Structure 1
Amino acid sequence: MSTLNNTSHKKKNIWPKLITFSFILLVIVIAVSLLPRGFSQDLSVIGQGTKALVLVHDGNVLQSADTMVAMNAVRDDFEERVAFIVADINTPEGKRFADSHGFGPAALAFFAANGDRLQLLYSEQTGESLRQHLNTTFSYNY
């Protein structure tokens, strides 16, 4: 008879563990969904019919990180018309891109759909200043 009581007691204890596990899993899913999306590193998009904004990123340069935050702040408003690309200078592709265009770390380059460079910035950007540059350079009104 004591074996029967132990079995039913074990079944009752599984529910709090299952609820706790489900809650933790839900919190993890929500947290991951709130993380900022990464930026494309596909530089082959430039000149292929889509306007592009390219940041030559160096994780060791604070201005580069601040500009990435500004890009993230305006991306939702422009991403249907502008490709947001990061050329990480610490990767072979990013280094090759920066060298071929003569860009240094934290360069922010605006490219027309045909691949022509329209503007190059090295100044620190905020979300609002970047929005103004995108509107002016690409003739948008966001």
Structure 2
Amino acid sequence: MGQDTTRSTRKGLPPWARMLVTPLILLVAAALIWSQLPKGAYSTDLSRIGDGQPALVLIYDSTFMAGMRVMGYMDEIRDDYTPQVHFLVANVGTPDGRRLADQHGVRDGAVLLYSDRGTLVEQLPAPASVEVLRQALDRSLMATR
């Protein structure tokens, strides 16, 4: 009268299903991580300001969070305005990014909106929502027409 350890009396998943659980969990985790990544890289080429197309420039500092939040807002509206607007990032960790931030007295998360000729049209200290950013971009586009 010992314990019955045959497969027919075991509870749980069949062996083939247990072998699939770990890869399935890894695949789902990878898909979730992938879906949270930004839609695409933003150009850091600030020479595009004033090249005949309006530009939205995010001042970004990797040691703070406001810039990442605003970049998420940019991700949400980018498809609505591309190709008529350049979406650029000025990283304050680079000389050009630091110069631009200092020139306008802004910090991480600030957005600078430029006309097609390179004139600063509007400056936002750190938009509080995607709608605030969208409205400012619409205003700046109307001002340049």
Does residue 107 of the first structure (1) align with residue 110 of the second (2)? yes
> What is the RMSD computed on CA atoms of the aligned residues?
2.4
Counterpart of 1:58, as a letter, is D
Q: What residue ranges of structure 2 are gaps of 5+ in the alignment?
A: 1-22
Is the 1:63–1:106 contact (alpha carbons within 8 Å) kept by the matching residues of 2? yes
Is the 1:66–1:125 contact (alpha carbons within 8 Å) kept by the matching residues of 2? no
Does residue 91 of the first structure (1) align with residue 127 of the second (2)? no
Q: 2:79 matched to which residue of 1?
A: 76
Shift of 1:137: 1.8
Is the 1:52–1:110 contact (alpha carbons within 8 Å) kept by the matching residues of 2? yes
Counterpart of 1:47, as a letter, is G
The equivalent position to 1:54 in structure 2, one of 33, 57, 60, is 57
Equivalences, count: 113
Q: 1:125 matched to which residue of 2?
A: 128
CA deviations over 1:3-23 (Å, ceiling 9, x no partner): xxxxxxxxxxxxxxxxx9xxx
Is the 2:127–2:133 contact (alpha carbons within 8 Å) kept by the matching residues of 1? no
* Distance change >3 Å, CA 92–CA 75, structure 1 → 2: same
* More helix by percentage: 1
Counterpart of 1:49, as a letter, is G
In the TM superposition, structure 1's runs of 4+ consecutive aligned residues that sit over 3 Å from their partners are none
Is the 1:87–1:97 contact (alpha carbons within 8 Å) kept by the matching residues of 2? yes
Is the 1:57–1:87 contact (alpha carbons within 8 Å) kept by the matching residues of 2? yes
